[in-house]
Amino acid sequence: MSVEGKTVLVTGASRGIGRATAEAFLAAGARVALAARDEAAIAAIAEAHGDRAHAMACDVSDPASVDALYARIADAFGRLDVVFNNAGAAMFSTPVGDVGWEDWRRVLSVNLDGAFLIARGAFRMMREQQPQGGRIVNNGSISAHAPRPGSVAYTASKHAITGLTKSLSLDGRPYGIACGQIDIGNAATDMTAAMAKGVPQADGRLAVEPLMDVRHVADAVVHMAGLPLTANVQFMTLTATNMPYLGRG
């Protein structure tokens, strides 16, 4: 039940859930590859943690950029034990009929294409390294279960993450590769700041929604990653206690 000494990749590590989780892994003694498009932000995080943290700029939606990321991880660390497949893009409060193709592709290219490319690269590396195996934790969402109004692109992408998680879990069995998914509801980050002012509900109201400290999410991911490869948290749902999830709709 420890990640000390393990090599971990966190995507979307420049802010929000990704940054909090990367810092939690570092605090627990892991070696961390911080991946994001914002090179300055991840470099600042890495500088504070010495040679256990490496900033690696990457656009997860670009296959060549992802291939280069895994080459850098191999050079810097020699192996990969854990991936937190976290990078994401959002688009809310837009009815289906008003969603432009460019916006649809912007969200899907990061949330689904990017998640696949990161998972594929991790799978290849974990399958080939010795000792073989590793763990992939995908960031799903409450939207993998129930949509918010006007969230077709985000919801479709997060439903797809559940299928990705299940396929990875099945394909990874022969190689000691475990895959789980954490579905997060209302962690306090820049992305959820609007919830403190009021967001659309299914009945047409605007309502303030409670938030939880993002550190609880980070701790949960570190817990999932610390399990031996003989055990796996397949799906975890972690929410602010009073968020309108079970009553959504």
Residue 190 has pLDDT above 60, yes or no: yes
Burial of residue 9, with CB atoms counted within 10 A of its CB: 0-12 exposed, 13-18 middle, 19 or more buried = buried
Least-confidence region, from 25-34, 108-117, 142-151, 228-237: 142-151
Q: What percent of the chain has pLDDT above 70?
A: 99
Would you place residue 246 in the very low, low, confident or very high pLDDT band (cuts 50, 70, 90)?
confident
Q: Is 154 a catalytic residue?
A: yes
Q: Which pLDDT band, with edges at 50, 70 and 90, does 203 fall under?
A: confident
Catalytic annotation, pick one of 70, 154, 175, 245: 154
- What pLDDT band is residue 249 in, cutting at 50, 70 and 90? low
What is the mean predicted confidence (pLDDT) over 157-176?
98
Give the pair of three-digit tokens for residue 196: 């403190």
In the predicted structure, residue 101 carries a pLDDT above the cut 80? yes
Query: How distant, in Å, are the alpha carbons of 29, 56, 65 from that of 75?
Result: 20, 12, 15
Provide the residue ranges of all domains of the chain, joining segments of one domain with +: 7-239
Which one is predicted more confidently, 195 or 28?
28
Using only C-alpha atoms, the chain has a radius of gyration, in whole angstroms, of 17
- DSSP assignment of the chain: ---TT-EEEEESTTSHHHHHHHHHHHHTT-EEEEEES-HHHHHHHHHTTGGGEEEEE--TT-HHHHHHHHHHHHHHHS---EEEE-------SB-GGG--HHHHHHHHIIIIIIHHHHHHHHHHHHHHSSS--EEEEEE--GGGTSPPTTBHHHHHHHHHHHHHHHHHHHHHGGGTEEEEEEEEE-B-SGGGGGGGT-EE-TTS-EE----B-HHHHHHHHHHHHHS-TT----EEEEE-TT-SSTT--
2 within 8 A of 28, measured Cβ to Cβ: yes
159 CB contacts (<8 Å, ≥6 apart)? 143, 144
Q: Please report, rounded to a whole number, the percentage of residues in the chain having pLDDT higher than 90.
A: 86
Of the ranges 19-33, 97-111, 180-194, 229-243, which one carries the lowest mean pLDDT score? Answer: 180-194
Q: What is the pLDDT of residues 123-149, one digit of tens each?
A: 999 999 999 999 999 999 999 999 999
What class is the 7-239 domain? alpha beta
pLDDT of residue 15: 95
Report the range of poorest mean pLDDT among 4-8, 104-108, 160-164, 209-213. 209-213
d(CA 204, CA 4): 48
